[in-house]
Amino acid sequence: MKILIFDSSTLISLVMNGLFEEIRQIKKIFDGKFLITKEVKNEVIDRPLNIKRFELEAIKIQELLDDKTIVMPEELKIDSSEISRKTYEVLELANNCFLSNGKEIHLIDAGEASCIALSKHLNEKKIENLMCIDERTTRNIVESPEDLKSFLQKKIHSRIEIKKNRLEYFSGLKIIRSAELVYVAWKKGAIKSRDKKVLDAMLWAVKFKGCSISEDEIREIQKI
């Protein structure tokens, strides 16, 4: 069993482009489950359900849950409260790794941390999993904390220290973005058109709705 864990940022990039049917088609070619945590559900469904401007997106994601395209951890007999508990550990670690003038910079929040907590939990149970995260900060904490340190120094204009021992926790986690998901869908025929222009359009569409991908990376993907 393989698990793809969706962060709020990825679902937002996809659904704001109306790619609901595409998510269903990708699921059909995937031998595993698409999972979201309780914290992510709160961000993409529960809260926007009360905001008229995003109510439709919330309802459409709820439909993905209703038809089991996406499932909650309980579907795999994983207790969400256990993931929530681990989420606080992740928050404590991640938000105390980077310091500016000796003070911690709180970089991430519960939804993002819950994806890491779930991925770690699945790793402990030897269940193959991948996180799908479009926003860059969480991805950088996991993949390239030193680069994130340089980035923060440049942006905040102050010296940043890293507590490296705390970062070990994040090693061994794997991340893709909606851009790679769109590519897989296109390559594996989950999207009807084989036209490269469709792939190009989808990559730009997810970028314009928040997927952290550069123009150079889009060009790199187009050349594959």
The site that binds other proteins (CB under 8 A) totals a number of residues, namely 70
Please list the residues that pair with 162 across neighbouring strands: 98
The alpha helices in 95-177, defined as continuous H runs, are: 110-124, 136-143, 145-156, 164-167
Candidate list 33, 38, 86, 177; residue touching other proteins; CB under 8 A: 177
Instruction: Report d(CA 224, CA 219) in Å as an integer.
Output: 9
Q: How many helices (H) and strands (E) does the chain have?
A: 12, 8
Strand partners, 63: none
Could you give the string, one character per residue 34-73, with x where binding to other proteins holds by CB under 8 A and - elsewhere? ---------xx--xx--x-xx--x----------------
In the complex, what is the shortest distance from the CB of residue 17 to other proteins, in angstroms, rounded to a whole number? 10
Nearer to other proteins, 89 or 143 (CB): 143
Percentages of the chain per state (helix, strand, coil), in multiples of 5: 60, 10, 25
* Contact pick of 21, 144, 193, 196 for other proteins (by CB under 8 A): 144
**What is the phi/psi pair of residue 176, to 5°?**
-125, 180
Nearest approach, Cβ of 45 to other proteins (angstroms)? 12
Q: Does residue number 221 form part of the binding site for other proteins (CB under 8 A)?
A: yes
Contact track, other proteins, 103-122, x by CB under 8 A: x-xxxxxxxx----------
Q: Assess contact for 178 and 218: CB atoms under 8 A.
A: no
Query: Looking at this protein, which amino acid is placed at residue 25?
Result: Q
Contact residues toward other proteins (CB under 8 A) are 2, 4, 8-9, 12-13, 16, 29-30, 43-44, 47-48, 51, 53-54, 57, 100, 103, 105-112, 128, 130, 134-138, 140, 143-144, 147-148, 151-152, 155-158, 174-177, 179-181, 183-184, 187-188, 207-215, 217-218, 220-221, 224
